Each structure stands twice: as C-alpha cells, then as structure tokens.
Amino acid sequence: MIFIADYGAGNLRSVQKAFEYLGVKTVVSSDASLLVNFEKVLVPGVGAFGHAIRSFNASGFSEALFEHIDKGRKVLGICLGMQLFLTQSEERGTHKGLDFVPGKVVRFKSDSEKVPQIGWNSVAYSKESVLFEGIPDNSFFYFVHSFYCEPECEEDIAATTLFAGKNFCSAIEKNGIFALQFHPEKSSGVGLKVLENFAKC
C-alpha cells in the first residue's frame, strides 16, 4: 500500500486512479503522522514552489518524510514533488527545499522554444533504475513545467530530457529516493509501468 501525501498542492485523484487501475491500494491523507505505517510514500505536486514548501512544512510532512527516509523507506516525487526534494528553488525568489538531493531548481531560458514545456518528450536513461525496468530507453512521457532540477551530483541523475537547448534532469534515484519531472499518471502505458515498478520495488 502506498501513502499519497495531500499537502494542498497535488494532482491527487489522477495519481490515485492510476494506482487503482494497476490494482495497487493507496491512502490519500493530509495527516503526516500516518507515514510511520507505510513503506512507500508518493509526493505529487502542481503549482508554485514557495507555496508548496510552506504548506509541506506546516502540515508536518517535512519532518515525517525525513524520518521515513532515515528508516530506509522509499519515496517518489512527481513534478513539483520532485523539485521539493532539492536544496533550493529560484522560482519567484529563493526558497529552501527539503535538501534530500543536493541541487537547485531553475527556470528554462529559451529564445527558440516556448516555456513552459507542455507535452510529450523523450526520456534518456543515465543509469539503470528500477523505475524504468521493462521500459525502452528514450520512451516518451508527458511534461508540464517551466522549472527543472539541477542536482549537484551526476550519480543522482537517473534520466535526462532535451528541451530549450538544455539536457536537463528528468528523473532522480538516490538511496530509495525517486523523483520524476514528468507525469507518469498522464503518460499512458509507459507511465503506468513506472508507477507499477515503484509499487513493486
């Protein structure tokens, strides 16, 4: 069973429906104290970083997730949820993140392509990851974002994607911490396979 964190900034129902389709049981809750009962947590997210991290901290999820990771349990961040895992974000000022993955969140700069990136794009694997088992390299996934993650350590990067002249980090895997810039719940069969892989890992 997977705990889906409801901290007021998540596209919760579509993720929950994807897991239901896969036959994976989930609990959606805003009660951070329940995390102790789960081996796996999913952190979705849409919207602005500053508001999201304030809400995440105020709800008690930050402290609960630190304890969850310290116990060696797994977590998956999606889109804004991924960005919260980094050290800081430059979205509308400078905001401190959870710092699970050293690095920063920055905005695309492009004169040739329209920002935000909205639509399908290919994902190239940087290393073997349990999230992509059974999925061909350079498969297409669905993105909606203006900001992207820049991890400090290359070994934390599980996959990259080319947009606006930048080969940016589109997936992270680090000691049970998983994160995706794209939306697997909106990415058809390959996205469902990613969620299934997380549920089974």
Quick: pLDDT tens for 42-64. 999 888 999 999 999 999 999 99
pLDDT at 111 over 90: no
Rounded-to-integer distance, Cα 16 and Cα 13, Å: 5
Separation in Å, CA 93 to CA 45, 109, 178 = 19, 16, 26
Q: What would the pLDDT profile of 154-179 be if each residue is shown by its tens digit?
A: 999 999 999 999 999 999 999 999 99
pLDDT tens digits for 65-108? 999 999 999 999 999 999 999 999 999 999 999 999 999 999 99
Contact 68, 110 (CB under 8 A): no
Domains delineated in the chain: 2-200 (3.40.50.880)
Cα separation, 59 vs 116, in Å, equals 29
- Asked if 115 and 145 touch (Cβ cutoff 8 Å), the reply is no
Residue 112 has pLDDT above 80, yes or no: no
CA 23/CA 30 separation, integer angstroms: 23
Measured CA to CA, the distance from residue 39 to residue 32 in angstroms comes to: 14
Nearest alpha-carbon partner for 179 in 45, 29, 30: 45
Q: Which are the catalytic amino acids? A: 79, 183, 185
Q: What is the pTM of this model?
A: 0.95
